[in-house]
Amino acid sequence: KMATPVYTPFVFLLLLFQSRVWGFPVRQTPQESPTCGYKSCHATKPGMLNVHLVPHTHDDVGWLKTVDQYFYGDRNDIQHAGVQYILDSVVDQLLKNPDRRFIYVETAFFYRWWKQQTDDMQNTVKQLVNEGKAREGDEATTHYSAVIDQMTMGLRFLNDTFGHCGRPRVAWHIDPFGHAREHASMFAQARVIRAHSNLNPAPSPPGILPNGYNPPEGFCWDQSCDDPPIRDDPDLEDYNVDDVVTRFLSIAHALVYKTNHIIMTMGSDFQYENANLWYKNLDKLIRYVNQNQSNGSGVNVLYSTPSCYLQELHRANLTWPLKGDDFFPYADSDHDFWTGYFTSRPALKRYERISNSYLQCSVLWLVEKAVAVAQHHDAVSGTEKQHVANDYARRLANGWAHCQVLVSNTLSSLSGSSAPRVYCEHLNVSVCPLTETSKKFSVNVYNPLARPVSWPVRLPVNGTAYSISDANGKAVDSQVVPVSQATAAVRRGRGYAVNELLFQVQAPPLGYSTYSVSLLQNGPPSPHFVTLRDFLSSLLCVCFPRYNASDGNNSESIQMSGAYIFRPNTSTPFIISKTAKTETLQNSVVQEVRQWFSPWVSQVVRLYTDSRALELEWTVGPVPIGDDLGKEVISRLDSSINSSGVFYTDSNGREVLQRRKDYRPTWNLRQSEPIAGNYYPINSRAYIKDDKDQLTVVTDRSQGGGSIQDGSLEIMLHRRLLYDDVRGVGEPLNETSDIYPEGLVVRGRLLLSLSPPATAADTHRPLAQEVVLQPLITFTDGELHPSTRLEFSGLQAVLPPAVHMLTVSQWDQDSVLLRLEHQYQASESKEPSQPVTVNLQKLFSTLDVLGVSEMNLSANQWKDEMTRLDWKAESGEKHLPKRGGDPSVWEVNLKPMEIRTFLLRVRQR
Ligand SMILES: *[C@@H]1O[C@H](CO)[C@@H](O)[C@H](O)[C@H]1NC(C)=O
Ligand SMILES: *[C@@H]1O[C@H](CO)[C@@H](O)[C@H](O)[C@H]1NC(C)=O
Ligand SMILES: *[C@@H]1O[C@H](CO)[C@@H](O)[C@H](O)[C@H]1NC(C)=O
Ligand SMILES: *[C@@H]1O[C@H](CO)[C@@H](O)[C@H](O)[C@H]1NC(C)=O
Ligand SMILES: *[C@@H]1O[C@H](CO)[C@@H](O)[C@H](O)[C@H]1NC(C)=O
Ligand SMILES: *[C@@H]1O[C@H](CO)[C@@H](O)[C@H](O)[C@H]1NC(C)=O
Ligand SMILES: *[C@@H]1O[C@H](CO)[C@@H](O)[C@H](O)[C@H]1NC(C)=O
Ligand SMILES: *[C@@H]1O[C@H](CO)[C@@H](O)[C@H](O)[C@H]1NC(C)=O
């Protein structure tokens, strides 16, 4: 019996490119000069069916247990898993036989293990490692900037530790819950063929192995398995070599692939803790199966790795299909769509997103590490156990606490003011002790974007009128409005402010601006209530329906909704309330409609005077469960747009993919779940459009959503479920917290824009970016010293609108890692979709750029040293568009959607 029968979600995908990403250590004979990569592959036999055995383990970086519990093998009562022993044992076994191979990808674990080894052991492992390793991430709910940061960190560790032999060349992503196109794109350097190996014959979708990432049935020799070992002494009883070879040959012959090479994954979750069991039997399997070649079996078995397998596919010199769509939504059965995890644990998803944004303010490694761990597919996806989710949140909080010190120091040094800096992390629920009590304080707005931003600020205050001045001493318009009932309810006694102070701030690119606030008078609030016609009603209806979750009591399938799976019990959502209790207000800064749909669902519809987008601030929870039904709450926007069954979602926050109801671009779909089967991941935006209008929704975290009716767009906001969905986590998704013990309350925002399709990207691209990399607001109490520098920009000039500075981080003493991104697709917009040129020497205001070298996307290889296998695509099109060349060393050209990575040698001005 396999140890992991319930948890084998997988699609196997090999990305066809040579130069980058996840790989594995391969054994090599010590003392020899290192032979890296393909040179270390075992020879194959051209006339035979070559079976590539790939020994591997799949070690979740936190799922049922926390990262550290997994590492040490603690709490084996929850799940038997001890990663430190796996690495100890595998290294020991690799040393015993140079033919053996192993792939290991979870860098977070490997890093922990490496630190604990002696110099001797580290040197031994360096001999063994030939291609490095990297960890996997969730593909559906992750934002590309976090994915790139994470890749960079992991691969830098590998390069620093193992040199160029530690550079992985293939992607090994065995356990995400679907595959994103943007991931393939990022792995392939953001501008390469997005092909994948056609591992399986039609009609099944390509790239799927018959038994997940597990070994074939009957061939699991881990200590957690019960399959018979190979008993090869004919003098003893139970001799079974003939039986094993016969079974193996029949399994191998049953697999039909495009080439005479097949891959078998020999391992599974947390296996190889006692690697001797596996290797002893694999050695024998290879020996006995290959002996049969003399009898004309025609099968050759070898130890291999994904890159050796890939090399053989390349040698076959065939043409391969190009895939332009992605692998969402994933389903493992007719009624079992993995579309719930797009939304599961919405508070953690938001926290992860904000942490990633803060990370851009800092290069502090501790924060980077916490965010990278939270990118694991069971973390961002929300499909881990509750205690593991708490552990992730704690790690992010620790990282952020350290980051705050760094941000404070940086701001003190730039502004010349050492006044203590205060952070208010609960402004989302109008809690900030400093602004509630202080009569005079200053607000520092740091903008991590390379263009100026204008941003509405909303601070809890107890006064009724304030005077505000900007960095130039100019008065800023502000308004005071009463705190809403919904906000007073969610903050749960954590603050007492009766009002909120609203004003618009402007911050320069990659810099800050400081606003001074003083209390003018105390008196009764003057909220300017007006009876405003609901300015939405003419445009669209914003409703809050919910789905009753399936409890498995159903004639078609017993599958219930859970952390992974979304399965409503009917296709008609239940409208929580047809009417809302409404309060409206309007002043010079904002117009607001506050709506209460029920005691646990409320919304504020806001339009700031300076804004291009309508804001929907939703507050949902505690989701009632008194009726013993799980519930999944959505926000539905109905419009008159004639969307004809089509809508669009982003892929990891970057490119946009078209989605069509009950349809998949590359295979024939028989739709079995009318709602869940039409849900897709939304990382940052989704839209519907017709000839005249485009309605775009920008989200503040990853969520799931769909367009079930024409003209309608629905986004799932929160879910609370009472049953486990039997994918291994063993808990219902029934979140509570210290503040909300009776059920988690979550608040978030959707930003809506309505514009003609031709110019829509000009609004939603920058909008989405401002939500992901939102300004960081900090406070200091009292009057600022007159010598304080109130405004600062790290840039010499604003960059063109198409250019996003994706990364600026200190690399070492005198160099800075810079990523420039063209953030528009080719024909998405007019002017911004054109190629642009940026001068690297004219970028920074405080740094002289002395030298530049271009690197690959993950910054572990120099661009001019990159080599990549060349693949022939079926469509015959040339897949590498040629760049027009840079005007000079300093002036670099960016094509639509291109990301370029540079290491700059710099000197402080
Ligand atoms: C070896 O190969 C021959 C011919 O293919 C086959 O008949 C025989 O059963 C094989 N031996 C074993 C042990 O499977
Ligand atoms: C090959 O076939 C012969 C005769 O059938 C048999 O005696 C021998 O054991 C076989 N060899 C293997 C390796 O199966
Ligand atoms: C690959 O196939 C093409 C024809 O499709 C042929 O011209 C070429 O020589 C082949 N290359 C190799 C290395 O066999
Ligand atoms: C805040 O303002 C309210 C209403 O004006 C007042 O009742 C309360 O005492 C104030 N609280 C503090 C701590 O100033
Ligand atoms: C969902 O459950 C509620 C009870 O909470 C019930 O009133 C409603 O009819 C149900 N709706 C559907 C569509 O099953
Ligand atoms: C869900 O959580 C609530 C609050 O902690 C608890 O009372 C209830 O028993 C839980 N239900 C399930 C099915 O776990
Ligand atoms: C408010 O923000 C904090 C910090 O990011 C987060 O932990 C909390 O869940 C948010 N509150 C709500 C109600 O969403
Ligand atoms: C990789 O590491 C080596 C040795 O530490 C260093 O010299 C080299 O510059 C690194 N390569 C890259 C691309 O960072």
Q: How far is the CA of 904 from the centre of ligand 8 (A)?
A: 14
**Regarding beta strands 590-598 and 601-608, do their DSSP bridges make them parallel or antiparallel, or are they unpaired?**
antiparallel
CATH code, domain with 842: 2.60.40.1360
Instruction: Examine the fold and report which residue of 723, 739, 771 is the final residue of a domain before the chain moves on.
Output: 771
Q: Which of 175, 378, 710, 762 is catalytic?
A: 175
Q: Is the CB of 290 under 6 A from ligand 2?
A: no
Which of 357, 425, 428 maximizes ligand 7 atoms within 8 Å of its Cβ, making it the mutation to test the pocket? 428
Q: Is the CB of 490 under 6 A from ligand 7?
A: yes
**If we measure between CA atoms, which residue out of 849, 838, 830, 833 comes closest to residue 904?**
849
Q: Are residues 517 and 404 in the same domain?
A: yes
Number of domains forming the structure of the chain: 4
Q: Which ligand is nearest to the CA of 720?
A: 6
Which residue stretches of 755-864 are H helix? Answer: 757-772
Q: How far is the CA of 569 from the centre of ligand 5 (A)?
A: 9
Q: Is the CB of 437 under 6 A from ligand 2?
A: no
Residue 349 in any domain: the answer is no
pLDDT (0 to 100) of residue 209: 67
Residue 298 in any domain: the answer is yes
Instruction: Examine the fold and report which residue of 309, 328, 347 is the final residue of a domain before the chain moves on.
Output: 328
What letter would DSSP give residue 428? G
Q: Are residues 562 and 544 in the same domain?
A: yes
Alpha carbon 367 to chain centroid, angstroms: 16
Residue 19 in any domain: the answer is no
pLDDT (0 to 100) of residue 184: 67
CATH code, domain with 589: 2.70.98.30
Residue 880 C-beta-side C-alpha neighbours within 13 Å: 9
Q: Are residues 822 and 886 in the same domain?
A: yes
Q: Is the CB of 291 under 6 A from ligand 2?
A: yes
**If we measure between CA atoms, which residue out of 12, 194, 232 comes closest to residue 103?**
12
**Beta carbons of 126 and 159 less than 8 angstroms apart:** no
Q: Tell me the residue length of the chain.
A: 909
- As given in the structure block, the two tokens for residue 46 are 């051209």
- As given in the structure block, the two tokens for residue 670 are 């028989």
Q: Which ligand is nearest to the CA of 461?
A: 4
Residue 477 is a catalytic residue: no
Domain that holds residue 882: 795-908
- As given in the structure block, the two tokens for residue 339 are 């579309």
Q: How far is the CA of 387 from the centre of ligand 6 (A)?
A: 15
Residue 367 in any domain: the answer is no
What three-state secondary structure class fits 96? helix
d(CA 907, CA 98): 48
What letter would DSSP give residue 101? B
What letter would DSSP give residue 446? E
Q: Are residues 779 and 765 in the same domain?
A: no
CATH code, domain with 502: 2.60.40.1180
Which of 496, 501, 521 maximizes ligand 4 atoms within 8 Å of its Cβ, making it the mutation to test the pocket? 496
- Give residue ranges with CB within 6 A of ligand 5: 548, 569-570, 572, 574, 627, 629
d(CA 558, CA 152): 43
Q: Whose CA is nearest to atom 6 of ligand 2?
A: 295
CA-based max dimension of the chain: 100
- Which residues, including other chains, have CB under 8 Å from residue 171's CB and lie 6 or more apart? 13, 14, 15, 20, 21, 22, 184, 187
**Regarding beta strands 631-638 and 541-543, do their DSSP bridges make them parallel or antiparallel, or are they unpaired?**
antiparallel
**Beta carbons of 717 and 750 less than 8 angstroms apart:** no
d(CA 98, CA 107): 23
Name the stretches of the chain with pLDDT < 70.
1-38, 130-140, 166, 169-177, 183-210, 359-382, 522-543, 868, 873-884
Residue 42 in any domain: the answer is no
Q: Are residues 782 and 801 in the same domain?
A: no
Q: Is the CB of 559 under 6 A from ligand 7?
A: no
Q: Are residues 542 and 603 in the same domain?
A: yes
Which of 733, 734, 736, 737 maximizes ligand 6 atoms within 8 Å of its Cβ, making it the mutation to test the pocket? 734
Alpha carbon 205 to chain centroid, angstroms: 24
Q: Is the peptide bond before 835 cis (omega within 30 degrees of 0)?
A: no
**Is the Cα dihedral 405, 406, 409, 410 positive or negative?**
negative
For residue 288, give the ligand 1 atom closest to its CA: 13
Residue 9 in any domain: the answer is no
CATH code, domain with 186: 3.20.110.10
**Beta carbons of 60 and 135 less than 8 angstroms apart:** no
**Beta carbons of 504 and 608 less than 8 angstroms apart:** yes
- As given in the structure block, the two tokens for residue 159 are 């390069």
pLDDT (0 to 100) of residue 535: 58
- As given in the structure block, the two tokens for residue 232 are 């090869």
**871-887 per-position pLDDT tens digit:** 776 665 544 445 557 88
Which of 574, 598, 675 maximizes ligand 5 atoms within 8 Å of its Cβ, making it the mutation to test the pocket? 574
Residue 20 in any domain: the answer is no
Instruction: Write phi, then psi, for 260 (nearest 5 degrees).
Output: -90, 35
**512-525 per-position pLDDT tens digit:** 999 999 999 765 55
d(CA 138, CA 656): 18
For residue 156, give the ligand 8 atom closest to its CA: 14
Q: How far is the CA of 297 from the centre of ligand 1 (A)?
A: 7
Q: Are residues 762 and 781 in the same domain?
A: no
Residue 369 in any domain: the answer is no
Q: Is the CB of 861 under 6 A from ligand 8?
A: yes
Number of alpha helices (DSSP H) and beta strands (DSSP E) in the chain = 16, 38
**If we measure between CA atoms, which residue out of 720, 838, 829 comes closest to residue 764?**
829
Alpha carbon 279 to chain centroid, angstroms: 35
d(CA 906, CA 62): 39
Q: Are residues 513 and 545 in the same domain?
A: no
Q: How far is the CA of 47 from the centre of ligand 2 (A)?
A: 20
Q: Is the CB of 742 under 6 A from ligand 1?
A: no
Could you tell me if residue 225 is left (phi over 0), alpha (psi between -120 and 50 degrees) or otherwise beta?
Answer: beta
**Beta carbons of 306 and 103 less than 8 angstroms apart:** yes
pTM of the model: 0.85
Q: Are residues 285 and 424 in the same domain?
A: no
Q: Are residues 549 and 518 in the same domain?
A: no
Helix (H) or strand (E) holding 481: strand 478-482
Q: Is the CB of 768 under 6 A from ligand 1?
A: no
User: How many Cβ atoms from other residues are within 10 Å of residue 878's Cβ?
Assistant: 9
Q: Is the CB of 866 under 6 A from ligand 8?
A: no
Q: Are residues 748 and 806 in the same domain?
A: no
User: How many Cβ atoms from other residues are within 10 Å of residue 538's Cβ?
Assistant: 7
- As given in the structure block, the two tokens for residue 92 are 């020991």
**Regarding beta strands 656-660 and 646-650, do their DSSP bridges make them parallel or antiparallel, or are they unpaired?**
antiparallel
What letter would DSSP give residue 209? -
Distances (CA, A) of 562 to 76, 341, 704: 24, 8, 14
d(CA 526, CA 865): 66
Q: How far is the CA of 317 from the centre of ligand 3 (A)?
A: 6
d(CA 737, CA 759): 43
**438-472 per-position pLDDT tens digit:** 999 999 999 988 899 999 999 999 999 999 999 99
d(CA 360, CA 808): 8
Q: Are residues 750 and 784 in the same domain?
A: no
Q: Which ligand is nearest to the CA of 568?
A: 5
